[in-house]
Chains A and B, each alone.
Chain A
């Protein structure tokens, strides 16, 4: 059995990234993975398979809805769309993340200042 690929992302961040990527338009799983990779300029390396449990979890929590339709290649794909509940969740998580990021940055700046 090959070892499961590890994610570089902090725990729980993937859900927020998925919601953020889907905020602009409905996408299928492969497109979501590609978009995360492109937007992060290849910094965030999500093992692509781990995306699907997250998508299914968000769908069950009614933060996403999904429908099958033809993709750009003509093949049927499952497209995920953000629900209004998902949009609210994204807003709340983004704010929380920004506060946390600012706090972490402030701590790091402060620590560097004291060290300097």
Chain B
């Protein structure tokens, strides 16, 4: 019988033990009586010879090896009874811990999804990402000829490469839509174990097929185009205007980067020196390591003259590090710590509640001690009670996390994550939740248990020492921690919300509600030359205007405010190498379309070659670099970021626009606007302004494009405000998270304030009653109750302020302004006053006679 069976059959074993001992004693009595003793003497003699039965039974139970578990279960049952008995305490404590554990679980789920989760295929650990890196840390992507050379020469067990492109696809009957396709090399899919769930893989000869190669599609695309994954098999699909047959459907893609379809790379119409390839390979077991392989590859590329610069090197890093965020980054560390802070606040809160409850239980503990319970036994019992509480809170935390993650997932656009990124509760997360739960037992349970364990074994003595200095000290420490951490979180929340609002509400006088946006992508085959592309955009602009309702249109690289490239700029009083400034590339019609009027000068001219040397700046740039806004005609020099030594291009300022608050700063940043060359634009964000609401403009826009060329893919036709809202999901999610944790932390701290004040009022009832009886006014009583709280508030605010400054220095977040700190300090003070007012007021209006009678 193993220990689990012994535990399960405990009652039967107890009966057997009783029967066994009874048999022994009866046999002994019988023999003694046979030897001539009377029954009474025989019984007495047998008891002497056998020994103390309860002790022997205890020894037998211990010999079973399950007694500790039985004790534990008993303690847990008692803990449950205590929770049921003190419902108000249980609800507050479990609620507080559930919130703390739930929030930290949400944070850990995100950290796990983005930094720790293994790539979703077997053997991911043996794959390395192969890429180029120059001396300044930039990573130029591989070209097709470089990839082929590496595949030929690298001493690897397997090698795969791919490039992703946004291309139009359509069926024979439908209009074109924009998808992301991955053109893959022979072994790329096999190396990561990607297999179609329906249909078949590519056959070897299909990897050499330049035109009409088959395609694999994701179940998502198959359902969108044909109604179901199975219905897509064998259908014709025009990929970038070329007919292809769907031979397989992949239901849960493991491909490292999000893709809707896959084709052999031979069908990718690109020049051999066109960059944009990603590559990965499997090291040979026992073969050269990553450093040796990268050296060999680099030598091979130099031998074939495929590495132009001596400053560019080949690097091999584990594939997982390429697709995972680095958990050591300050941002992620701050993120993890923010989650841990909420657990700390919740634990401090529950620690305080346990201390208060402990004061009420001193008589019970003293009585148990006087009846023979050891202090170790009392400690174990109290820790078991806290463990039951924390286990209940883990369940509550899992529920809170589940709800919160559902809400967060709804904020993340589906296209923003790789197919294999999973944000949710899996066993890793649940294990972490229980680890947090165990940590909270230590954080909040040990101090109250130690405190209660010290209770004198004489109940009358215990009663007089209830409000010991030690309890007060612990309570004060817990409260100070809560207030300080709340202040830190509130300061961070304030800054995050301010930043998000600054980004999401541009200060420029733009009327964005009347603007429509759409993503368009051209077929690389049909628009292979700059002239063809330029002609398309000019034609489309004319057609949109001619169609009526649309008055302005521009073709941008990205949504306004979502893409900025830092560049060194030397101008006015700032000489080379210059200051880093955000640059935005815009089409000639951009400012008119978004409704921004120039303060001076003019904007770029469509199809004009002279715009190559032109630049538009915002007024912040003008005042920063020239100290004035009248800067039209002045010259500036613009150089790539990180390479201020490269040849700089002189540009003439042709116009000045008002400042946009379109990046994560509280103050408007200097920005330069460079002209977008549509001759090289295969895909664009179309922005259109009209005389009708955006919804009515949508059909005008899609019809005009379809009439011009049905192979041009149009997608995400939505008002600009909606598209911007979608694009700002990271900022929005950050704001939701920080607001959530700061609010919860603050709320928990205020519960702590109320609980501590109520406890103090309770433990000082006799003293306060005597004061009232001696003539103290209600104000005097309130003052007496709140005075120690004011000290802890001051300590909490001071520590919180210091922590905020340290946090912002350590994690590089924008510095807290003095007004921000003052505002948060005022908020915490006001809330503390409100939450402590009720118990203090109750003390002030208590009947002194009744209070004194109840204490005697």
Contacts and interface: CB of A to CB of B under 8 A. Distances in A.
B59 interface: yes
Given A2-B52, A28-B23, A48 B28 contact: yes
A60 B50 contact: no
Q: Which of A28, A29, A56, A71 is packed against the most chain B CB atoms within 10 Å? A: A56
Nearest to B13: A56
Interface in B227-265: none
B24 interface: yes
* Range of interface residues on B (Cβ < 8 Å): 20 to 34
A51 B436 CA distance: 46
B51 A30 contact: no
Interface string B49-82: 1111101100110111100000000000000000
Interface of B: 1, 6, 16-17, 19-21, 23-24, 26-28, 30, 48-53, 55-56, 59-60, 62-65
A76 interface: yes
Interface string A1-18: 111110000000000000
A29 B24 CA distance: 7
A95 B65 CA distance: 29
A49 B19 contact: no
A75 B17 CA distance: 15
30 contacts: A4-B51, A4-B55, A5-B51, A28-B20, A28-B23, A28-B24, A29-B23, A29-B24, A47-B49, A47-B51, A48-B28, A48-B51, A49-B50, A49-B56, A50-B56, A50-B59, A52-B59, A53-B60, A53-B63, A56-B60, A56-B63, A60-B1, A60-B65, A71-B23, A73-B27, A75-B23, A77-B20, A78-B19, A78-B20, A78-B23
A38 interface: no
A57 interface: yes
B52 A52 contact: no
B24 A60 contact: no
A63 B404 CA distance: 56
Contacts of A47: 49-51
Contacts of B51: 4-5, 47-50
Contacts of A78: 16, 19-20, 23
A60 B27 CA distance: 25
A53 B56 contact: yes
Contacts of B23: 28-30, 71, 75-78
Contacts of A53: 56, 59-60, 62-63
Interface of A: 1-5, 28-30, 33, 47-50, 52-54, 56-57, 60, 68, 71, 73, 75-78
A50 to B, nearest CB: 6
A53 B62 CA distance: 8
A30 B28 contact: yes
Contacts of A71: 23
Nearest to A3: B52
Given A4-B51, A29-B20, A47-B50, A60 B63 contact: yes
A5 B48 CA distance: 8
Contacts of A30: 23-24, 27-28
Nearest to B22: A75
Contacts of A54: 63
Nearest to B31: A34
A76 B24 contact: no
A48 B62 contact: no
Nearest to A75: B23
Given A30-B24, A47-B49, 18 more contacts: A2-B52, A4-B51, A5-B51, A28-B23, A30-B27, A33-B24, A48-B51, A50-B51, A50-B59, A52-B21, A52-B24, A52-B59, A53-B60, A53-B62, A60-B1, A73-B30, A75-B23, A78-B23
A43 B631 CA distance: 116
Contacts of B27: 30, 73
B52 A60 contact: no
Contact of B56 (A3, A52, A68, A76): A52
B53 A49 contact: yes
